[in-house]
């Protein structure tokens, strides 16, 4: 099989813009396997009576039924997802971006089901989990054709060297950017439309979001996060310990030393009992709707 690591031009584009789209990276047969696996996992979880360890559902019902919005930790849950997250061609590309020693630290599958798929508000991933440096890349694999209509990913290019504010006025972590982004100061968001099988390589500080899916087509995205071996988590509570239990070295060696780099990391003061990004962002917006402020006056 032909190796498909990144070209110099693609790497430069990633460094400059903070993201890179590689269209149709995975072929339809591979996507078919993933589709089958998602159906099996969903069916089994929903039939079990307690799906909450495996997946999270949309707040809105579809035809009176719960529909999943996220499958947790797919890399842990099934060999088909593991083989995708450890695919040698994908890892070659990751290696082009963060070097030859790296681990996978997190995975998730966002389902964005037709009609009800939840919004994801603007945020920067590294604001959720501070690290000693910013040599982390997220790969987002579109499992369906993604368009603006079904809520494709949007990014704000060239803003991966600084953090936006993610706190409410009392300093609590909001899980979303609380500064005004739409007044032209930061440029226009770019909607990343691409066919099923495409991969987006996104820097861990790139601001991104996606609109709700009001169309009649799902927009599922399988997400893997990789980090250089010398990027270590900064402890900010028991959540760090839980997250670290999932980290697996995929290439090269673990590092005996931490490297410091990137903008000074923000330390998120997490509210209690946060279940997911969706849950936290919804809680923040509900607080603002009740009269709380999102942004300091």
- Minimum gap (Å) between residue 213 Cβ and ligand AKG: 9
Exactly one of 192, 250, 277, 280 binds ligand AKG (CB under 6 A); which one?
A: 277
- Minimum gap (Å) between residue 135 Cβ and ligand AKG: 19
Contacts of 3 (CB under 8 A, 6+ apart): 88, 89, 92
- Minimum gap (Å) between residue 74 Cβ and ligand AKG: 12
Calculate the CA 142 to chain-centre distance: 12
Neighbouring-strand partners of residue 224: 107, 139
207 to 236: interface string for ligand AKG, x by CB under 6 A: -x-x----------x---------------
Of 135 and 210, CB closest to ligand AKG: 210
Of 167 and 210, CB closest to ligand AKG: 210
Q: Which residue is nearest to ligand AKG (CB)?
A: 210
Per CB under 6 A, 107 contacts ligand AKG = no
Neighbouring-strand partners of residue 287: none
Neighbouring-strand partners of residue 140: 200, 223
- Minimum gap (Å) between residue 177 Cβ and ligand AKG: 12
DSSP state of 54: T
Residue 275, φ and ψ in degrees, nearest 5: -90, -35
Of 80 and 223, CB closest to ligand AKG: 223
If one counts every other C-beta atom within 10 angstroms of the C-beta of residue 291, the result is 6
Instruction: Give the E-state strand segments of 147-198 in sequence order.
Output: 153-155, 190-191
Residue that is written with structure tokens 């799906």 in the block: 51
C-beta of residue 261 within 8 angstroms of C-beta of residue 134: yes
SS3 12: helix
- Minimum gap (Å) between residue 255 Cβ and ligand AKG: 26
Exactly one of 97, 120, 155, 199 binds ligand AKG (CB under 6 A); which one?
A: 120
Residue that is written with structure tokens 């501070």 in the block: 130
Of 60 and 259, CB closest to ligand AKG: 60
145 to 174: interface string for ligand AKG, x by CB under 6 A: --------x---------------------
**Rounded to whole angstroms, how far apart are CA atoms 99 and 94?**
8
- Minimum gap (Å) between residue 173 Cβ and ligand AKG: 14
DSSP state of 64: T
54 to 93: interface string for ligand AKG, x by CB under 6 A: ----------------------------------------
Give the total of residues touching ligand AKG (CB under 6 A).
8
Q: Which of these, 147, 155, 153, 212, lies nearest to 186 by C-alpha position?
A: 155
Q: Which of these, 67, 87, 98, lies nearest to 262 by C-alpha position?
A: 98
SS3 210: strand
Of 74 and 251, CB closest to ligand AKG: 74
Of 140 and 250, CB closest to ligand AKG: 140
Exactly one of 37, 105, 110, 135 binds ligand AKG (CB under 6 A); which one?
A: 110
Binding site for ligand AKG (CB under 6 A): 108, 110, 120, 153, 208, 210, 221, 277
């Amino acid at each position: 099989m032909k190796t498909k690591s990144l070209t110099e031009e693609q790497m430069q584009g990633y460094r400059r813009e903070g993201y890179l789209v590689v269209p149709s990276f995975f072929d339809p047969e591979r996507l078919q396997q993933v589709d089958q696996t998602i159906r099996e996992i969903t069916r089994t979880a929903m039939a079990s009576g307690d799906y909450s360890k495996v997946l999270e559902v949309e707040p809105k019902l579809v035809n009176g039924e719960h529909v999943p919005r996220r499958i947790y930790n797919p890399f842990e849950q099934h060999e088909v997802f593991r083989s995708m997250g450890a695919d040698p061609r994908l890892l070659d590309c990751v290696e082009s971006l963060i070097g030859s020693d790296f681990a996978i630290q997190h995975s998730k599958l966002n389902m964005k089901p037709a009609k009800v798929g939840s919004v994801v508000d603007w945020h920067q991933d590294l604001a959720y989990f501070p690290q000693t440096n910013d040599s982390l890349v997220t790969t987002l694999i579109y499992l369906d054709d993604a368009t603006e209509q079904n809520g494709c990913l949007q990014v704000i290019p060239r803003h991966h060297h600084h953090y936006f504010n993610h706190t409410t006025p009392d300093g609590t972590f909001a899980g979303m950017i609380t500064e005004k982004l739409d007044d032209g100061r930061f440029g226009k968001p770019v909607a990343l439309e691409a066919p099923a099988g495409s991969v987006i390589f996104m820097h861990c500080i790139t601001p991104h979001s996606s609109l709700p899916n009001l169309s009649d087509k799902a927009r599922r995205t399988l997400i893997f996060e990789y980090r250089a071996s010398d990027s270590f988590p900064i402890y900010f509570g028991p959540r760090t310990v839980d997250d670290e239990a999932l980290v697996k070295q995929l290439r090269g060696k673990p590092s005996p030393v931490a490297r410091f780099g990137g903008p000074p990391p923000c330390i998120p003061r997490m509210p209690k009992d946060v279940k997911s990004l969706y849950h936290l962002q919804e809680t923040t917006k509900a607080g603002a709707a009740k009269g709380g402020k999102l942004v300091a006056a």
